[in-house]
Chains A and B, each alone.
Chain A
Amino acid sequence: MELSDELRQLYQEVILDHHRAPRNYGNLEPHTHQAEGYNPLCGDQIELFLRVNDAGIIEDVRFTGQGCAISRASASLMTEALKGKSLAEAHALFERFHRAVTTEPTAPVDADSLGKLVVLLGVREFPTRIKCATLPWHTLEQALAGGGTTTTE
């Protein structure tokens, strides 16, 4: 049984790697921001912690939780991308990422502005899985907005 091209796009080696060995996995103490994300449809759940310094720079970020390969890899890649960014830059990245994964599969995207996150664009072929990729990012927005629980459906 051969994998289809779409499946290979969705589950690229980078994604499988981040799924098997997620980066920045665990609790973060002390932290300045925290939020939980939950997708009731599939039971995916993530908790995100950030430490932001006085200058408004994300010094460290970690996550825990249970989820599918896409949501785990997305969370892992997100934490890598966020370190050292200012809050404004983090928010801008959220917007770029969100816009990119919710466009038509064939729509051109500015790959450079996404960096390593481009590997997640395969979800555009899988409408039911887009929420998996965006869950960590919505949780980030929630954390930056003051915490609590965010739910995607």
Chain B
Amino acid sequence: MSLHSTQTLAYDVERIRQDFPILGVRPHGKPLAYLDNAATTQKPRCVLDAMTHYYTHLHSNVHRGVHYLSEQATAAYEHARDIVASFIGARRREEIIFTRGTTESINLVAASWGGAFLRPGDEILLTVFEHHSNIVPWQLVAQRTGAQLRVVPIEQDGSFSVDRALEAITERTRIVALAHVSNVLGIVVPVAPIIEHAHRVGAVVLLDGAQAVAHLDVDVAELDCDFYAFSSHKVYGPTGIGVLYGKAEFLERMPPYHGGGDMIRRVTFERTTYNDLPYKFEAGTPPIAEAVGLGRALEYVDSIGRAAIAAWEEHLVASCIEQLVQIDGVRLLGPERGRAAVVAFSVEGVHPHDIATFLDREGIAIRAGHHCAQPLMDFFGIPASSRISVAMYSTEEEIERAATALRKCITVFRL
């Protein structure tokens, strides 16, 4: 507690805000309160500069030319891989595969690992709060292989019971694929006992870290997960690039996902031998400038400090929940505690779309919709919900503005 309060005191959010040029935008003439960070985060100037610098001074194709610029570009791209590896605690750089994002990372594992190793009757274990991108790829591979999906439920109050997940892991479970942080419930899933239990029955574990990497200190070696997926754009980096971490022992045995240039060693029309990790999974010209931007973003996060960011966000989330639960008719989705950065809610008699439009005119950006988690909306019996999500540059004042506008909105619609 005292640790947190000293950290939040020392946290200079105004200085951090100076690093994000877009925060100066004035929607509808009002100051911007960007509270849709779970959808995507904004970019600090150093990321924009790093990408411009790359295109201005270093750009060429990677791994192909012997000329100066190709060496420069390759070095920049591979340096980004080193930054990612160290940021998430991967032991080996070749365990970091650049993809287009979380979605592609999960599709890669489902198609390549799942396609090669799933058999009829095998079980793929998910939770009810998975994002569509951690559901549909598994449905596709289940159809192809005859494996079955099983779904861990949550409690009526929206909390998650680890015991239920442990019970659902059986001898037939081949993979457990679950969110590290839910993009709706906001819960930080206690993954350690799940991973341990899954390994005991010989199952592998994929964590969808899309909502985790910007808010937690993720260490894949310590977690001992087999795969970890995340998107650059949700951790202050550019769009168009993401990461798949995979233990080398798995990646080595998996067939390629896409075929093309860079992923091969030797091609004849009869037979192709594949390149080593990580290139086996990086067919075609990769998003080089985006990798550079991602690397810079992660360095930026570490320059602020992940513990300090987490403490600040925890403080904002607690304050947000405190204000929301006092509003008549507001129902919080998920538990009040144990959250990272995300607060979703529904309001009796007022549709999330109307709330979002109303707040937008005040310059406040929040999300309204099903958040790509329709099974979870069905569980709660609602078509959609509203979501406030914070980032390192969010302020208490922004949260207060959102709560005030929400109260006003409710009075207009309920009159």
What are the residues of chain A within 8 A of B358 when measuring CB–CB? 7
Q: Which residues of A contact B374 (CB under 8 A)?
A: 43
List which A24-80 residues lie within 8 A (CB) of chain B.
Answer: 41-45, 66-70
Chain A window 124-151, contacts with chain B (Cβ cutoff 8 Å), 1 for yes, 0 for no: 0010110010000000000000000000
Among the 9-residue stretches B43-51, B93-101, B249-257, B346-354, the one with 4 or more Cβ atoms under 8 Å from chain A is: B346-354
Asked if A16 and B412 make an inter-chain contact with CB atoms under 8 angstroms apart, the answer reads: yes
When distances are taken between beta carbons in the complex, the residues of chain A under 8 Å from B383 are 42-45, 66-67
Q: What does the 1/0 interface line of A1-22 toward B look like (CB < 8 Å)?
A: 1011011001100001001100
Q: How far is the CA of A1 from the CA of B351 in the complex (A)?
A: 20
Which one of B357, B404, B415 lies within 8 Å of A10 (CB-CB)?
B357
The 8 Å CB contact of A42, one of B361, B369, B408, B412, is B369
Q: Does B36 contact A (CB under 8 A)?
A: no
Expressed in whole angstroms, the Cα–Cα distance for A69 and B414 within the complex equals 11
Chain B hits for A126, CB < 8 A: 357
Please tell me if the beta carbons of B404 and A1 are within 8 angstroms of each other in the complex.
yes
Is B234 on the interface with A (CB-CB < 8 A)?
no
Count chain B residues whose beta carbon lies closer than 8 angstroms to a beta carbon of A.
Answer: 24
Most A-side CB within 10 Å, residue of B350, B384, B404: B384
B415's nearest neighbour on chain A, judged by CB, is A16
A42-B362 in contact (CB<8A): no
CB of B28 within 8 A of CB of A11, answer no
| CB of A24 to closest CB in B, whole Å | 19
Asked if B184 lies at the interface with its beta carbon under 8 angstroms from chain A, I say: no
Asked if A3 contacts B370 (CB within 8 A), the reply is: no
- B361: chain A residues at CB < 8 Å are 3-4, 6-7
Q: How big is the A interface, by class?
A: 20 to 34
Known A7-B358, A41-B369, A42-B368; contact A16-B353, beta-carbon cutoff 8 A = no
Chain B nearest CB from A28 CB (Å) reads: 22
Complex alpha-carbon distance, A66 and B354, angstroms: 13
Q: Which residue of A lies closest to B404 (CB)?
A: A1
Residues of A within 8 A of B39 (CB): none
Question: In the complex the two chains form, what is the Cα distance from A129 to B354 in whole Å?
Answer: 9
> Would you give the shortest CB distance from B240 to chain A, in whole angstroms?
23
A118 to B415, CA, bound (A): 23
B294: A residues at CB distance < 8 A: none
In the bound assembly, the distance between CA atoms of A4 and B363 in angstroms comes to: 12
Cβ-closest chain B residue relative to A72: B351
A11 touches B369 (CB 8 A): no
Query: How far, in angstroms, from A77 to B77 measured CA to CA in the complex?
Result: 58
Encoded as 1 (CB less than 8 Å from any A CB) or 0, chain B from 340 to 376 comes to 0000000000111110011001100000111000100
Closest chain-A Cβ to B347's Cβ sits at a distance in Å of 12
**B377 touches A (CB below 8 Å):** yes
- Most interface-central of A19, A43, A67, A129 (chain B CB within 10 A): A43
Q: How far is the CA of A67 from the CA of B382 in the complex (A)?
A: 10
Residues of chain B within 8 A of A44, CB atoms compared: 351, 353, 383
Q: Closest CB-CB distance, B331 to chain A, in whole Å?
A: 15
Chain A hits for B357, CB < 8 A: 7, 10, 126, 128-129
As a 0/1 sequence over residues 99 to 124 of chain A, the CB contacts with chain B under 8 angstroms (1 = contact) are 00000000000000000000000000
- Given A1-B405, A41-B369, A43-B369, decide whether A69 and B415 contact each other with a Cβ distance below 8 A: no
> What is A's interface to B at a CB cutoff of 8 Å?
1, 3-4, 6-7, 10-11, 16, 19-20, 41-45, 66-70, 126, 128-129, 132
Pairs A-B, 4 closest by C-beta atoms: A43-B383, A68-B351, A43-B384, A68-B353
